[in-house]
Structure formats: C-alpha cells, structure tokens
Structure 1
Amino acid sequence: MPYKEVRGNSIRVKWWTGDYHLDADGRPTKRKKYASASGPEDGVPFQDEDEAYTYGLDRESDVRNRRNRRRPNAPLGVIDYIEQVVR
C-alpha cells in the first residue's frame, strides 16, 4: 500500500520498489527499498491526495506485474553489458 503525506504545500507518495537493501556481502536484508514522487511528472505537483494515492497504487501494480524499470546504481558501459550478455 502506498503511503501519502502532505509536506507544506505539496503532497508526496511513497511505494515499495520490490527491492531490498543489501548487506556488506551483497545479500538482501529484510529492509525494503522505497521510491517516492511529488507529482506525476517533473515539475508538476499532485492536485490532491487521491491523485497521489492512485499514482502510488499504479507504481506498485507495475512492480507486481514486472513492468517497472529499475534504475541502476551506476551507469553500465557497453563493454560491461556485453560481458554480462555473453556469460
């Protein structure tokens, strides 16, 4: 379930990304990673709390149905990508 919060004159929504934080050995822990947004697009705020909540529900649906695009922590070069594909 997404979590919405009013922060001053804006509304922010948070949702679970489907990922977990990693420990020092690179194994997933029980701590979940969350993403947030203050509007449906950059520079466009949510109109009300219902719009923010619906946006969060849509993002969680994308995670469940594997339509979400995860951003890598670091850019991946072409050579590294080829090495991953060839393996």
Structure 2
Amino acid sequence: MLHSSGLPRTLWAEAARHAVWVLNRTSTKSLDGKTPLEAATGKKPDLQDLREWGDKVWVRLEKGNKLGGRVREGQWIGVSEKKKGFRIYWPDA
C-alpha cells in the first residue's frame, strides 16, 4: 500500500493500522464466513465509504471565499477511531 500510494515511508505505521482495520472487517473461514468485527459485536461492518489507501481527496474548507480556495487537497489514510471521520495526510503540512 505504501509503495503504490507514493506516500513517504514515515507513514508505514498508518499503512499497517489501515491494513489491520480492513482485515478485521473481512470475512474469514475460521469464523464460518463472519468477520472478526461481526463475531465480536454482532454487527456487520459497513464498508460503503472505504477508499483505497493513499487516494487523493479534497476537503472542504470552512473559511473559503469565491476567489480563494474552498478545498484543500490531501491523501486518504484511514478511518478515525476516535471521531466520526477520516484520517487525511496533508503533504504540504
């Protein structure tokens, strides 16, 4: 994932974190076709908003104007565990 996205190697932990997140939401034969998340919580995972790791995304800015930028470009690196939202890598930050 890290190599194909072109993101810096310093994000290897983020790539591993996302890989584990996806594996926990993927069915497995040892759980009779259930996902580990489903076995633990009883709920099927919702992967509707799942994107490819490292995809370019455009995030809307609250302080945009007509002539200035209203969006900022970043790269998607996962789902936030603490808040309802996504984790974004800002290459220029």
Q: TM-score, normalised by structure 1?
A: 0.23
More strand, by proportion: 1
* Larger RCO (alpha carbons 8 Å, 6+ apart): 1
Q: TM-score, normalised by structure 2?
A: 0.22
